[in-house]
Amino acid sequence: MGRLAPVWSKVSPITVTHGRGARVWDTNGQAWLDMTAGIAVTSTGHAHPKVAEAIARQAERFIHAQVNIYTHDLLQPLADALDAITPDGIDTFFFSNSGAEATEAAVKLARQATKRPNVIVFQGSFHGRTAQAMAMTTSRTGYRAGYMPLPAGVFVSLFPGFPRSSRVGDEVSVDEALDYLDYLLASQTAPAETAAVVIEPVLGEGGYIPAPAAFLTGVVERARAHGIVFVADEVQTGFGRTGRMFAVEHANVTPDILVMAKGIASGFPFSGIGASWELMERWPVGSHGGTYGGNPMGVAAALATIQVIQEEGLVDNAARRGAQLQASMERIAEKFECVSRVRGLGLMVGVELRDDAGRPDADLVGRVLAEMQASHRVLAMSAGTFGNIIRWMPPLVVSEAEIDEAAAAFEASLAHVLAQR
């Protein structure tokens, strides 16, 4: 028996030694095409030289400069860099370590600023695995089972495009979702008791479902009308992933609080939230913090990541390669009836598989993913409440040839698995 906790679920059996760009190498020296990017984290690819150099250089200066004790000299440059790329009105930043921690920081800020207790989230959401974030997560029972009771004051509204049931075509419309939000505010959480509405602009674990612009606009209108803080959870969608620097840009809406993690530092554990100075100054001094928040190595990695994204045109590359990937998946869908839907934004592409009766086919997804590994050394992951969605989230540096390679591996694996049934 090993000494590593068995609680981690595993996508593949391989042990890796190093990575470059969109590929990783195992202990046998074999290269694998990584279409997971560490769950949409390694935005600039594995071990980008500029990011690695920035981390190494900073490690020689300071590994841990605790932000309550002294302000290290990279904090303000990162705040300035984020101010330049985040939506207008987001100009003040707080740093932490993980997406869940940043989500909790956003909720704490909203509650302190409004003096209200409740939070609205949306069906299909994933906001993290800490207690408050679990209470806000509704994409799958497995993330919450066995941990009740969870923090109270969380209310769940409908997300357009998310399935009401396992039946094909049974999705929530924009009008229904907005009507239900109005109903929720009238029936369960009064506006005067609602601190924040928190949404992923593209559902992540829920199945890579983009929120329509009309829906996001409607949510923002309702939040503004009632003095509710609008929080965009861009943990997975931020830093170019959707073909824009931040996904809210597709809908031309501005959040009151922007939650950032994953791609912000190319894999170094780092996260943050951004808001206006006017909102941030309503957060009582000392009421939130963290030992490792603003870690200088993480800040160095984030600064280098932003520089690489801008210098190498990775936002545009995500848009182009994402369009290529979606077109390839749609072409494959025309050949196989089991591919019921292709959707996404940029390099967040979901492919939904169903059986002959139109039911979600998680077994087929698992078999296809395994065949892609066994015969093609291509790594991908599943998503969705019913586990029947293959999600594609390669590093933003992925090439045209690598997208073609991944699509060919998927098509061949799907054909092989179906032939064996």
What is the spatial distance between Cα 85 and Cα 62, in angstroms, rounded to a whole number? Answer: 26
For 29-46, how does the pLDDT look when each residue is reduced to its tens digit (9 = 90+)? Answer: 999 999 999 999 999 999
- What's residue 339's pLDDT? 97
For residue 1, is pLDDT > 60?
A: no
Is 69's pLDDT higher than 90? yes
* Amino acid at the residue 217: T
CA angle 360, 130, 82 (to 5 degrees): 95
Which domains are assigned to the chain? 16-47+313-420 (3.90.1150.10), 49-311 (3.40.640.10)
Residues sharing a CB contact under 8 Å with residue 338, sequence separation 6 or more, in sequence order: 353, 354, 355, 356, 361, 364, 414, 418
CA angle at 305 for the pair 299 and 306, rounded to the nearest 5°: 95
Q: In the predicted model, what is the mean pLDDT of the chain?
A: 97
Going by pLDDT thresholds of 50, 70 and 90, the confidence category of residue 421 is confident
**pLDDT tens string 120-165:** 999 999 999 999 999 999 999 999 999 999 999 999 999 999 998 8
CA distance 263 to 191: 34
Burial 247-277 (b: 16+ CB within 10 A, else e): bbbbbebbbbbbbbbbbbbbbbbbbbbbbee
Q: Which residue pairs from 141-148 have beta carbons closer than 8 angstroms and sit at least 24 positions apart in sequence?
A: 143/205
Instruction: Please state the rounded mean pLDDT for residues 11-20.
Output: 96
* pLDDT for residue 11: 94
Please give the Cα distance from 336 to 352 (Å, whole number).
Answer: 11
Give the CA distances from residue 362 to residues 153, 250, 260, in Å, rounded to whole numbers and listed in that order. Answer: 33, 31, 30
pTM of the full structure: 0.97
Average pLDDT of span 276-281: 98
Residue 193 neighbours by CB distance under 10 Å: 14
Strands 389-392 and 381-383: antiparallel
Is 370 within 8 Å of 362 (Cβ atoms)? Answer: no
- Cα-flanking dihedrals φ and ψ of residue 399, to 5°? -95, 170
Q: What percent of the chain has pLDDT over 90?
A: 97
pLDDT value at residue 189? 98
pLDDT recorded at residue 92:
98
Contact status, residue 324 vs residue 398, Cβ threshold 8 Å: no
